[in-house]
Amino acid sequence: MVSASTRMTSTTESSPEPPENSLNSRHMRRILASSFMGSAIEYYDFLLYATAAAVVFGEVFFNSLSPALASFASLGTLAAGYVARPLGAAIFGHFGDRIGRKGVLVASMLMMGAATTAMGLLPSTAQIGAIAPVLLIVLRVLQGIAVGGEWGGAMLIAIKHAPGGRRGFAASFANLGAPAGAILATVAVSLTTLLPDEQFFSWGWRLPFLLSILLVALGLIIRLKIAESPLFQRFEAEAEQRRTPIVTVFSKYPKNLVLGVLTGISQFTIAGIATVWAVNFAVVNGADKTGVLNSRRWRPWSCSS
């Protein structure tokens, strides 16, 4: 009779560890988890701001204005993050091409976490005057720069590790993280709206922002365990010679760039009206904040990508 240990050894020998770039390998699963978790955490922060802009910031940072102007100013600061996203993509994309994606993804996550946590600690306009909304805009711009580096970088590192024919599937994990982060952000704010209004506008809304520091720590633990992509390592010397990759984009692919920008603008505009402005309109006109946010939680957040 064949002993149990012999059978186990035989099974182990007949089932070797898949190649590193196989989607079933431990290394590749770590890459996909990093893309998903990193994107989810960064978009939690980025879209947490959108929720707060709809229901909080008009009251906290623009309470000297009429309700209509306060809403306009609050949503205007929200737009600053989207304007800054291409800048972040250019900066982090440039250094990602030259020194690798892992380092810039760690940097983008740290920047996002620092900006979001600072928002949760930011005094209101009633406490420090007009400097409060100015600082809010500065922090929102930093969020935009950070998320501009995250989404493309997380997708590229998954693509470059994945085997041929499965790269689109691998890249989808970064895309899936965005709506997951948006749902988590909406749930976090929805729970704090259960507090009485006085406590909610005083300190309750800050809790989801302060939670960011814990989420970023979790994301860094996962992200620091991944390795640079084999493709980058293979062409690292060539990457050093390409000192300005962004010039290549503008000079060789202008049509693709323009089409991408126009597509993004149309997508973000429609989604912003449906999922941010509509929430603000309902809340300003007396609708229950918790009920509105719970109903929005199940709507696709198409502006996250």
- Report the sign of the C-alpha dihedral through residues 195, 81, 65, 182, in that order: negative
Q: Give the mean pLDDT of 120-145.
A: 95
Other beta carbons less than 10 A from residue 190's beta carbon: 21
pLDDT in tens, 287-304: 887 877 776 654 544 444
pLDDT value of position 26? 78
Mean pLDDT computed over every residue of the chain:
81
**CA 258, 245, 114, 208 torsion-angle sign:** positive
Task: State the greatest distance between any 2 C-alpha atoms of the chain, in Å, as a whole number.
Answer: 86
What's the residue count for the chain? 305
The whole-number pLDDT of residue 253 equals 86
pLDDT over 80 (residue 6): no
pLDDT given for residue 171 in this prediction = 81
Looking at residue 18, its pLDDT comes to 54
CA 42 to chain centre: 3
- Listed in sequence order, the residues at least 6 apart from 29 whose beta carbon sits closer than 8 Å to its beta carbon are 23
Instruction: Give 209-241 pLDDT, tens digit per residue.
Output: 999 999 999 888 888 877 766 666 565 555 555
Residue 25 has pLDDT above 80, yes or no: no
The neighbour count for residue 97, using CB atoms within 10 Å, is 21
Do the Cβ atoms of 39 and 150 come closer than 8 Å? yes
Lowest-pLDDT choice from 32-36, 54-58, 125-129: 32-36
Reduced 3-state DSSP string for 168-208: HHHHHHHHHHHHHHHHHHHHHHHHHCCCCHHHHHHHHCHHH
> pLDDT band for position 194 (50/70/90)?
very high
Instruction: Give residue 78's pLDDT.
Output: 87
Considering just the CA atoms, what is the radius of gyration of the chain in Å? 22
Residue 23: band (very low, low, confident or very high) from pLDDT cuts 50, 70, 90:
low
Q: Which of 99, 289, 85 is nearest to 194 (CA)?
A: 289
Beta-sheet strands, E only, within 75-214: none
Q: How far apart are CA 156 and CA 246, in angstroms?
A: 16
| Distance, CA of 40 to CA of 57 (rounded, Å) | 23
Please choose, from the candidates 92, 116, 114, the residue with its C-alpha nearest in 3D space to the C-alpha of residue 103: 92
- Give the distance from CA 169 to its chain's centroid: 19
Side chain identity at 106, as an amino acid letter? V
User: Which pLDDT score is estimated for 213?
Assistant: 92
For residue 301, the model assigns a pLDDT of 46
pLDDT band per the 50, 70, 90 thresholds, residue 173: confident
Contacts of 166 (CB under 8 A, 6+ apart): 23
Residues 6 or more apart whose CB falls under 8 angstroms from that of 77 comprise 53, 57, 133, 136, 137, 140
Q: Is the pLDDT of residue 270 over 90?
A: no
Owner of token pair 């997508």: 267
pLDDT of residue 231: 62
Closest alpha carbon to 69 in 53, 58, 82, 56: 58
pLDDT of residue 12: 44
- pLDDT the model gives residue 154: 80
Q: Are 113 and 43 in contact (CB under 8 A)?
A: no
- How far apart, in whole angstroms, are the C-alpha atoms of residue 255 and residue 133? 37
pLDDT at 241: 57
Instruction: For 31-50, write each residue's pLDDT tens digit.
Output: 888 888 888 888 899 889 98
Is the CATH number 1.20.1250.20 carried by domain 22-229+243-304?
yes
pLDDT at 131: 96
**Whole-number pLDDT of residue 158:** 80
271 pLDDT exceeds 60? yes
